[in-house]
Structure 1
Amino acid sequence: MKTTFRQAGLFAGSVIAAVSLSACGGGGGGSGSSAPAPVSTAGTLKVSLTDAPACGYDAVNVTVNKVRVNASATAADTDGGWTDITLSPAKKINLLNLTNGVLESLGQATLPAGHYSQIRLVLDANIGTGLANSVVPSGGTETTLSTPSAVQSGIKLSNEFDVAAGQSADLVLDFDACKSVVTQGKGRYLLKPVVKVVPALATGISGYVATSLLGSHVSVSAQQNGAIVGATVPDPTTGAFSLTHLPAGNYDVVITADNSAAGVIGAVPVAASGSTTLSTASAPLTLATSATGSISGTVSLPANATEAAYVAAKQSFAAGPTVTVKYAGADLATGAYTIANLPLAAPQYAVYSTARPLVLTPSATVQPGVGKYRVDASGTGYTAKTITMVDISATSATKVDFTLAP
């Protein structure tokens, strides 16, 4: 997935787009060697885009018109104080091309040094063919991705940052395509943007998965307490993966693929600089084969609900982390969801160490049990619901329904 414009995360990540801010340096010199150079009072804003992987799509396209920046967190789109980075012509970007650290530059602008509290990402409206913003379902044809009017006035992103005189400030807009595309029934798709703003840090987690897994919908995510912070898909030829722009801290790395047991590496450290490497091309991470099942059902939402709901299948390791193995969004119109290809075999687990290769071994002490999952339903503005034990080991498909209220 390597596109020029790239949810929210969204777990991530996990699919990717980036915004970079870079300050301009210095002013002009004096006419003589003894004259001091004037001090710059401005910096440069550079904007890039990245994405976490999307679920069930061959392409997720958005057409970026401009990026807007304001010092006021409450400034409306018609208020003063905006600095615009305008893309001329507007740029249609397949978010799924922006993964493994690939960034799409959206341009740059000079800003007065100071504190800024609002960023807006402005998309073109769907007119004419209606494909300025679009999706291609796996194996399907390009279809309009409806954009609410608020998207055309600008996707408001919560972030505060400083631009120092003569300095550069780099930000990345991480667009979670998986959570940003919501089905509406009858083959319709709605854009509900899930975008997080992160510093353009040269930090993260990298490695290789076995090439034998490629072509089976491999996903690699960095999680904390079961929440997906970043996600990516390996290179389709080499199996290389890179989870980039992760803040310093410890992460649980979860690897999934069709017809395979899940693999988890616990407590992977990310320092303030540099990348933590988990495996090499000569000794890649691999997964054991596994039969699979699915969990599906309906998430009933309040009448006239406008926010999407998501259902996640989770497992916990004894004296180890809780991780999300897979998740899916519920259709906004019907509430239907399906989490497919959930492994029945025990997940493989290893605690991070500097010894190589890391060896993943089956963990029979997983909770709620092998072939069993804790299932959570949640969404913005809803009270989350949990079913602590769903057993899919005795059947290939299990039905679980939820009702979410504000």
Structure 2
Amino acid sequence: MKILFPVTLVTAALALTACGGGGGGNDAPASNSGTVNVAITDNPSCGFNHVWVTVQQIRVNGSATAGDNDAGWQTLTLATPQRIDLLSLTNGVLQQLGQFPLSAGQYQQIRLVLVANGNTVVPTTATGADGTEVALSTPSATQSGYKVIGNFTVQPNTLTDLVLDFDACRSIVQKGNGAYSLKPVVTATPVVVSGRIKGYVSPTEVGAMVYAEQNGHVIKGTVVNTDGSFTLAPLVQSSANGNYDVVVVDKGYADAIIRAVPVTANADTTVSTAAAPISTPASGVQIASGSATSASDGILVRALQTVNGGTYEIASMVTNGSFSFTLPAGTPTYVGTYSSTLPIALTSNGIAAGQYQIEADETVTGAVQTTPINITSSSITNLNFKF
């Protein structure tokens, strides 16, 4: 998720107007009303040059159990539906959706409503060039809306900044018939409890992926800028959510892990500088590929490494068909522990290279299947999971 700082990286503003939904809205007394400022951002996507979604409404409710047609829903409607390329919203870049008056209180449900058409993807071709837009199936998008993970509180006579983090990589299901459907993973984070992790990687690794992880699960990811810099934001402050592990992954280089990185609200935590960037040795790569299928709408397939007793995600995708990962195979992972004194030393952890667990998570039932692999000397192309 990306955090909305009051004076940074907002690319466009859109007006919001009230419509229906019961309770509060423009009719709320001024003494018991606040304002919510909503922006949207994205994790980088896997295998796409563009991911277009068209947002028309945001719905909120104070009850965690309210049904689609129950009372208490307040609807924020964009004056004009906004078509957004999610892949342009990385490294702290936000798309401003607008401000809207809401009754003071805690909101337990948030839903994102898209238009019926105007949602597409452009898959990355073998040459990396843009291709033709492919329709993105969006069931339920235009009715009740997609559920957003998280909640927020509006204080009287106060502006609350809220960022909707749309994880395109884990929201797009690649089906066996070549079609794509949207099963969104969207998280809401209030800025007041959020901070950022910033750093640099070696200029030779521009375009690398950087993840903030907890317990082997990616919380936030981004792609390295052309100057080697990266920003992971928004991240909930460590006092509420625990520290983070920063994982750098690039084809042709050993992985790098900086453990136990703290995050402070409304502040930056720096893990490396342009003068002393994160850098790891070159590594050969191999392919881990196969298929993952189920009767549901998607399976999250992850490539995991176990390093010094911790588990770290190196790659992932959502599919109901084939999957393929290009993974470092020739050099062990390099690991260090966060220190405010830079640079942070990264050393080889001593584990054998090319050792991974491929995990398939059925996103509806929660069933999990895992297979250990060793790709030190060759690719493995017959990994198959079926639920």
TM-score tier after normalising by the smaller chain length: 0.7 to 0.9
**Farther-moved stretch of structure 1 (79-88 vs 260-269):** 79-88
Q: Is 1:244 aligned to residue 214 of structure 2?
A: no
Unaligned runs of 5+ in 2: 5-15, 17-28
Matches within 5 A, 1:120-199: 120-126=111-117, 132-138=118-124, 139=129, 140-199=131-190
Partner of 2:377 in structure 1? 394
Which amino acid in the other structure matches residue 360 of structure 1?
A: L
Distance 1:49 1:358 in 2: 32
Change in Cα spacing, 1:39 to 1:155, as seen in structure 2 (3 Å) is closer
- The answer to whether the Cα contact below 8 Å between 2:149 and 2:186 also exists between their aligned partners in 1 is no
- The answer to whether the Cα contact below 8 Å between 2:293 and 2:299 also exists between their aligned partners in 1 is no
Distance 1:152 1:177 in 2: 21
Partner of 2:336 in structure 1? 350
Distance 2:198 2:189 in 1: 18
Distance 2:106 2:378 in 1: 56
Partner of 2:316 in structure 1? 327
Partner of 1:230 in structure 2? 220
Distance 1:173 1:144 in 2: 23
In the TM superposition, structure 1's runs of 4+ consecutive aligned residues that sit over 6 Å from their partners are none
> Identity rate of aligned residues, in percent?
43
Alignment partner of 2:354 out of 360, 364, 371: 371
Which amino acid in the other structure matches residue 292 of structure 1?
A: V
Instruction: State the secondary structure of the residue aligned to 1:212.
Output: helix
TM (norm. structure 2) is 0.85
Instruction: State the secondary structure of the residue aligned to 2:52.
Output: strand
CA RMSD of aligned residues (A): 2.4
Encode CA deviations 1:296-333: one digit per residue, 9 max, x unaligned. 112242xxx23311221211222x52211112322x2x
- The answer to whether the Cα contact below 8 Å between 1:220 and 1:232 also exists between their aligned partners in 2 is yes
Partner of 1:382 in structure 2? 366
Partner of 1:297 in structure 2? 290
Distance 1:238 1:228 in 2: 24
TM (norm. structure 1) is 0.81
Encode CA deviations 1:45-102: one digit per residue, 9 max, x unaligned. 2111011110011110000011122223344444443322211211000001111121
Which amino acid in the other structure matches residue 232 of structure 1?
A: T
- The answer to whether the Cα contact below 8 Å between 1:326 and 1:342 also exists between their aligned partners in 2 is no
Change in Cα spacing, 1:68 to 1:39, as seen in structure 2 (3 Å) is closer
Distance 1:219 1:313 in 2: 14
Q: 1 or 2, which has the higher strand percentage? A: 2
Q: CA deviation at 1:164?
A: 1.6
Which amino acid in the other structure matches residue 400 of structure 1?
A: L
Distance 2:380 2:142 in 1: 37
Partner of 2:202 in structure 1? 210
Distance 2:161 2:198 in 1: 21
Which amino acid in the other structure matches residue 326 of structure 2?
A: A
- The answer to whether the Cα contact below 8 Å between 2:115 and 2:141 also exists between their aligned partners in 1 is no
Distance 1:110 1:344 in 2: 56
Q: CA deviation at 1:202?
A: 4.5
- The answer to whether the Cα contact below 8 Å between 2:198 and 2:270 also exists between their aligned partners in 1 is yes
Partner of 1:28 in structure 2? none
- The answer to whether the Cα contact below 8 Å between 2:329 and 2:376 also exists between their aligned partners in 1 is no
Partner of 1:310 in structure 2? 300
Distance 2:330 2:376 in 1: 6
Distance 2:276 2:163 in 1: 31
Partner of 1:341 in structure 2? 327
Distance 2:205 2:152 in 1: 40
- The answer to whether the Cα contact below 8 Å between 2:194 and 2:264 also exists between their aligned partners in 1 is no
- The answer to whether the Cα contact below 8 Å between 1:64 and 1:91 also exists between their aligned partners in 2 is yes
Aligned residues: 353
Change in Cα spacing, 1:263 to 1:167, as seen in structure 2 (3 Å) is same
- The answer to whether the Cα contact below 8 Å between 2:137 and 2:182 also exists between their aligned partners in 1 is yes
Change in Cα spacing, 1:82 to 1:300, as seen in structure 2 (3 Å) is closer
